[in-house]
Structure 1
Amino acid sequence: MNLAQIIITRNIEKQALKPAIGFKKGNQWAELSWKKFSQTIAKTANALKTAGIRENDRVAIYADNSAEWITFDLAILSIGAITVPVYATNNAEQTEYIINDSQASMVMVGNQKQYEICYSLLQKNQFLKSIIVAKDKEITKKEDTVFLSDFIADQSMEIEFCPRSYEDLATIIYTSGTTGIPKGAMITHGNLRKGFDAHFEFFKFKNFEEEVSLAFLPLTHVFERSWSLLSLYGGAKVYFLENPKEIAHALAEIKPTMMCTVPRFFQKVYAGIHDAVEKSTSTKKKIFHWAVSVGKHYAALKRTEKRVPFVLNFKYRLANLLVFSKIKQKMGGRLWFTPCGGASISPEVTEFFDAIGQHLTVGYGLTETTATIALFPFTQFEYGTCGKILPGVEVRIGENSEIQVRGDGIMKGYFNKSEETEAVFTPDGWFKTGDAGEIDEAGNLTITDRIKDLLKTSNGKYIAPQQVENTLSNNSYIQQVMVIAEGRQFVSALIVPNFEFLKAMLEKMNIPFTSWEDILNREEIVKLYRTKIEEFQRILASFERVKKFILMPAEFEMGSGEITPTLKIKRKVVLEKYKDLIERMYS
């Protein structure tokens, strides 16, 4: 059965008048009931058919998160067409590549820049035939393009779903990998639906229809897209945040119970909490460290399903009252389920949030596996691992300790790339992840190395950059870091400071602010960071430690192609862009 049909019909039957989605309208949050949401999807689906879109045609979405995004997506799926998401931050060249490679005939855009890029393509592209503008009055458009509201006007609110099998394509998701040309992973209706059912079997959620999820990661990415569709599939209400920089306000306003996120989000929260504690009084420091110690003891017993003694339970309630509740309130106060993936996360960060009662459901997966391969259950997991294998997924450890996968979530292959597809599958049909790992006796999967990312120094030593980068960034001093070591005699790094934190430090050091280029070249600032870096990396082996570094005056950004939507640095791009700067550290 068509995935969109399942999502719509089961919720119309159960809760037609309850809210389905939320979105920002001006400065206020608004909602659509399941009945209204399904009618809007139906009108959009019928408009697509009127415009000539047929089953298996590709339709692109090039916009930030919005109600229009998810509506257009479900409308495309409803008629048996194939959604092609394009990252909202992609430039003209990247967008043209995806339009051409997928042969998309229509695109919905969200803002003026996206519109201008697509309009220029419309004049010369052999595949793209029409542009739909998501929001009225926010874009200046030409006469030969149409606003979404006009596009769906006068369309029927009755929908005829196109039958789909498990093997039929639902979407082509282009990898945002840190190296290489993006490839379109072909994800089927079955990949998504079976994955959703596996998650519900794994977690055995109760009263899922009462949950509230906040979507702030890009819907273009497999993680947020599949999680938001899973939430709707289960009947939860999903709010869509267009501007991820407004996440702090959105958490306070919406008070979500669920939210998928990336490690950097919790690393920043972790660093901010510890920085605030360091600035507090000695009494508050003692209370905080006592509370965390109690929390860790309590969490360890809960994690291993052991009885919590009465006295410890009392202490934990007191710790929650004095410390933990205040921290959790800043994240809305109701957040309890937080799938976390897209990059590695330090065990100490995961353990800390478990201690305060904010469990992180750490997981591992790829675009090609429809996200989840393994993840933390609610109990019986181990910090530092990726958790247990999802039902319907098989994992084996192949040559060079590579994690290989087969099962319900594995893509059909890369769109129009038979050689690339063949290269990532073994002769007996297992998908090769490119990551090295191991499975312990309890069934926990651990990533030991990122085969694709391992760096080898000229001395023959292998460096796992994620480990070094996590070690250096779990604090308030450093916002981003990229380690360099491949073919070099020692490890170096490009380091982006936490500018907000550093600005406060300048006041304490009586250093007047001029420009970040000037500030970061000052001897006392470089010395401060050298001291801190030496302190942070004491736990690393001597050959893993950063010997030289350069402080960068601006963050790596998605818009410039330097980071992926899950905030992983694109090493190849950064290495090329800053090659002269890097050579200075080795000259």
Structure 2
Amino acid sequence: MHDHSVYRKFCDSARRFPASVCLTAEGESLSYAEVHQRVLSLARYLQHELHVSQHEAIIVVADQSRWWLIVSLSIQAIGAVEFPVESAKPANEIAALAEKTGSKVIIVLDTAAAGQLLSLRIVQRSLALIVASGTEPNATTLGNIFESGVGNQRLLSERTIAVSAIIATSGTTGVAKQVPVLQRSFLHAMRVIPRVLKLRRSDVFLSCLPSWHLYARLVEYVAIATGGSVVYSSIPALAGALKTSGVTVFPSFPEIWEAVYRQIISQIEKSKMRIILRSAIRTVIKTDRIFEYWFSRTRYDKQTPSIFAIVKLAYLLPVRWVLQRTIFRAIRRRVSPTLRYAIMGDAPLPLVVDETLRALGFQVLEGYGSTEQCVTALRRPTRNFPGAVGRVLPGVHVTIEALENSGSGAALLGEICVTGPNVFAGYFADMQALKSNPQPPLQYKTGDIGSLDSRGNLVVVGRKINAFRVATGERVFPELVENVLRGSRFVGWVVVTESGDRTPVALVVPDFHELLQWLAQHSYAPALAEYAERPEKHGDFWLPLLAGVAKGLYQKEFERLLIDSGLSAAARPTRIHVLPRRFHRGAELTQTLKPRREFIRREFKSVIFAKRE
């Protein structure tokens, strides 16, 4: 029975491990039994006091919250439907969502958003508002609900429906779509991922992800399926949490590990052993490239190793083994003394970052999925090759719908099509449609382009909608190029697109702090922090530098990265434009920090289509 819903799966873990720590935040820990008691208290309150029925909507407003898991499980226990939204969403949009879904309950887990949302009850007086904490007279707090739930023996009428939650996509191509994610999709991940990664009950999962994102809830669901514990940390406190929380599994996104990489490289450059360390890292990367050529395909077509290079593995592999267990181990322990895996979702790491972290012995495991397909593929610790997303998960079937002129056999390139229990059943239309039993389509066409080898290893090269052909007729996937260029520590964001003369052009947003530090070191500019923190206010300072010496720096950096990337000459940008401002969420970036390419192309049209000098 425990496989019928995420809630029942949690109940199974609570029964087996009642005294084990389930959640830890701000120095406070709750056991599985304590979490279960709070889940029951809130579920009874929703069902008996607020009269929430099966298939009714409940809106949950939160970013990262230690209460989210309890709230989510309570909603699923009574067969209601959770609509998670970010706390930055305007009150009028939440009001519109409440009206569309007929929701009569809003749960606010973000203190800053609670005051704004109280005004929503003036517009819709039938709404019940539950907040995480506070003394607002028109809201009920979770603390009060948990306290009143102690000793409450009212029978919970448990309900199970096919839909777990309605989660919004990132909206990279326009308006975000709402996806009813099925119980079966989460349950598949909760069964399979612990098995393929050999997760243990003793594992500690460090969570810094926003609660409204699919990735965040997937991580916590997998944690409770193993009987492991979840430790919450804010982004600013991550460095300390990695060192002191006992974390063994760290699900994260690229920006975090790019920052870790840059910190490591910075420390190496300050070390008296920097020449030896640089050489050691290059040696291990070279070893890995030879090894990966024979055992895995990746996004990048590297030079074929010679027979002599393959013979060199006989001594390179032992050298790699020694380095990763001595010098590199000390580097890893400075980041986290207990970390086993870092699971990378949402987007791939830059190639040089991925290769360097792997060389140092970090197990950064990239996965592939989306809101519509949950998780389709995941790298394994024993087959962790940069440039690939790993093997397709058991129970999932992937086919490649070939593009024209895409090759054949093992090199077949085309749209990735997925079937299996992880696939969604169509986008949200209305609450009435959810009452039927949604069935996944026979095949989900992802819109992603990739290839699949005979061993089930999946390679993703980019989005079909983003690809373009250059003047030579070659198809270019901008994500591949960007993934290489982001390896420079001076890059904050980079977007590659098609210019007016049908060649690739790169729009670069600097990492202003790193760039300013370099300019100061080379006596080009004073190291005034204000210039880096608010570049838009200091255009007179930045514009001449970005058009001159800084542009030259980026050209040299990109040439260094591209020459060893395996990308064809046609895919390499012919022009670089360095922008004197940052990208912002809600404008150039989605809420999940993905570039909105059409918006960027419109905003910087004059730069993209400017004639070459």
TM-score where L is the length of structure 2: 0.82
2:600 equivalent to 1:574:
yes
1:379–1:528 distance in 2 versus 1, CA, 3 Å: closer
State how far apart, in whole Å, the 1-side matches of 2:208 and 2:352 are: 25
Q: Name the counterpart of 1:134.
A: 132
1:428–1:261 distance in 2 versus 1, CA, 3 Å: closer
1:85 partner amino acid: P
State how far apart, in whole Å, the 2-side matches of 1:107 and 1:380 are: 44
Report % sequence identity. Answer: 24
1:338 partner amino acid: A
1:45–1:579 distance in 2 versus 1, CA, 3 Å: farther
Q: Name the counterpart of 1:436.
A: 449
1:463–1:313 distance in 2 versus 1, CA, 3 Å: closer
1:354–1:102 distance in 2 versus 1, CA, 3 Å: farther
2:558 equivalent to 1:533:
yes
The alpha-carbon deviation at position 4 of structure 1 amounts to: 4.6
Paired residues for 1:455-534 under 5 Å: 455-456=468-469, 462-485=475-498, 489-510=502-523, 511-512=525-526, 513=528, 515=531, 516=535, 517-521=539-543, 522=545, 523-534=548-559
Q: Name the counterpart of 2:395.
A: 392
State how far apart, in whole Å, the 2-side matches of 1:428 and 1:151 are: 40
The alpha-carbon deviation at position 145 of structure 1 amounts to: 2.7
The answer to whether the Cα contact below 8 Å between 1:42 and 1:158 also exists between their aligned partners in 2 is no
Paired residues for 1:230-245 under 5 Å: 230-241=222-233, 243-245=234-236
1:568–1:500 distance in 2 versus 1, CA, 3 Å: same
The answer to whether the Cα contact below 8 Å between 2:287 and 2:317 also exists between their aligned partners in 1 is no
1:528–1:295 distance in 2 versus 1, CA, 3 Å: closer
State how far apart, in whole Å, the 2-side matches of 1:96 and 1:550 are: 41
2:332 equivalent to 1:328:
yes
Which of 459, 463, 466 aligns to 1:446? It is 459
State how far apart, in whole Å, the 2-side matches of 1:519 and 1:159 are: 67
State how far apart, in whole Å, the 1-side matches of 2:107 and 2:611 are: 45
2:279 equivalent to 1:289:
yes
2:401 partner amino acid: G
The answer to whether the Cα contact below 8 Å between 2:587 and 2:599 also exists between their aligned partners in 1 is yes
1:90–1:244 distance in 2 versus 1, CA, 3 Å: farther
2:382 equivalent to 1:379:
yes
Which of 326, 349, 354 aligns to 1:350? It is 354
1:286 partner amino acid: I
State how far apart, in whole Å, the 1-side matches of 2:276 and 2:378 are: 34
The answer to whether the Cα contact below 8 Å between 1:458 and 1:489 also exists between their aligned partners in 2 is yes
The alpha-carbon deviation at position 571 of structure 1 amounts to: 1.9
2:589 partner amino acid: I
State how far apart, in whole Å, the 2-side matches of 1:311 and 1:583 are: 51
1:253–1:429 distance in 2 versus 1, CA, 3 Å: same
- Secondary structure of the residue aligned to 2:240 is helix
Q: Name the counterpart of 1:146.
A: 140
State how far apart, in whole Å, the 2-side matches of 1:159 and 1:389 are: 45
1:9–1:99 distance in 2 versus 1, CA, 3 Å: same
1:332–1:47 distance in 2 versus 1, CA, 3 Å: same
The answer to whether the Cα contact below 8 Å between 1:12 and 1:34 also exists between their aligned partners in 2 is yes
- Secondary structure of the residue aligned to 1:368 is coil
Q: Name the counterpart of 2:29.
A: 31
The answer to whether the Cα contact below 8 Å between 2:131 and 2:141 also exists between their aligned partners in 1 is yes
Paired residues for 1:41-440 under 5 Å: 41-49=39-47, 50-92=49-91, 95=94, 98-111=97-110, 113-124=112-123, 129-136=127-134, 141=136, 143-156=137-150, 162-164=157-159, 168-205=162-199, 208-241=200-233, 243-281=234-272, 283-290=273-280, 293-294=283-284, 297=287, 315=319, 318-320=322-324, 322-370=326-374, 372-380=375-383, 382-398=385-401, 400=403, 401-416=414-429, 429-440=442-453
Post-superposition Cα deviations, 1:530-581, rounded to whole Å, max 9, x if no partner, equal 43334433454444333444434443343x3533454322223434455566
The answer to whether the Cα contact below 8 Å between 1:23 and 1:66 also exists between their aligned partners in 2 is no
Post-superposition Cα deviations, 1:365-392, rounded to whole Å, max 9, x if no partner, equal 111112x101112324654222111111
Output the aligned Cα RMSD: 3.6
The alpha-carbon deviation at position 251 of structure 1 amounts to: 1.3
The alpha-carbon deviation at position 524 of structure 1 amounts to: 2.8
The alpha-carbon deviation at position 266 of structure 1 amounts to: 2.5
Post-superposition Cα deviations, 1:10-52, rounded to whole Å, max 9, x if no partner, equal 233322222110112xxxx221112221111111111212112
My pick for the range that moved more, 485-494 or 196-205, is 485-494
Q: Name the counterpart of 1:12.
A: 14
2:240 partner amino acid: H
The answer to whether the Cα contact below 8 Å between 2:167 and 2:178 also exists between their aligned partners in 1 is yes
2:110 partner amino acid: N
- Secondary structure of the residue aligned to 2:388 is coil
The answer to whether the Cα contact below 8 Å between 1:520 and 1:552 also exists between their aligned partners in 2 is no
The alpha-carbon deviation at position 489 of structure 1 amounts to: 3.7
- Secondary structure of the residue aligned to 2:367 is strand
The answer to whether the Cα contact below 8 Å between 2:469 and 2:475 also exists between their aligned partners in 1 is yes
The answer to whether the Cα contact below 8 Å between 2:461 and 2:479 also exists between their aligned partners in 1 is no
1:222–1:252 distance in 2 versus 1, CA, 3 Å: same
1:441–1:300 distance in 2 versus 1, CA, 3 Å: same
The answer to whether the Cα contact below 8 Å between 2:78 and 2:159 also exists between their aligned partners in 1 is no
1:105 partner amino acid: K
My pick for the range that moved more, 432-441 or 566-575, is 566-575
In structure 1, list runs of 5 or more residues that go unmatched: none
State how far apart, in whole Å, the 2-side matches of 1:582 and 1:409 are: 39
Post-superposition Cα deviations, 1:77-107, rounded to whole Å, max 9, x if no partner, equal 1111111111234345654565455443322
State how far apart, in whole Å, the 1-side matches of 2:260 and 2:105 are: 40
The answer to whether the Cα contact below 8 Å between 2:499 and 2:505 also exists between their aligned partners in 1 is no
State how far apart, in whole Å, the 2-side matches of 1:343 and 1:16 are: 36
State how far apart, in whole Å, the 1-side matches of 2:97 and 2:581 are: 28
1:239–1:7 distance in 2 versus 1, CA, 3 Å: farther
State how far apart, in whole Å, the 1-side matches of 2:72 and 2:149 are: 17
2:323 partner amino acid: A
The alpha-carbon deviation at position 450 of structure 1 amounts to: 1.5
In structure 2, list runs of 5 or more residues that go unmatched: 297-312, 404-413
2:250 partner amino acid: M
State how far apart, in whole Å, the 2-side matches of 1:533 and 1:352 are: 17
2:252 partner amino acid: T
1:159–1:228 distance in 2 versus 1, CA, 3 Å: farther
The alpha-carbon deviation at position 457 of structure 1 amounts to: 5.3
Which of 38, 41, 65 aligns to 1:40? It is 38
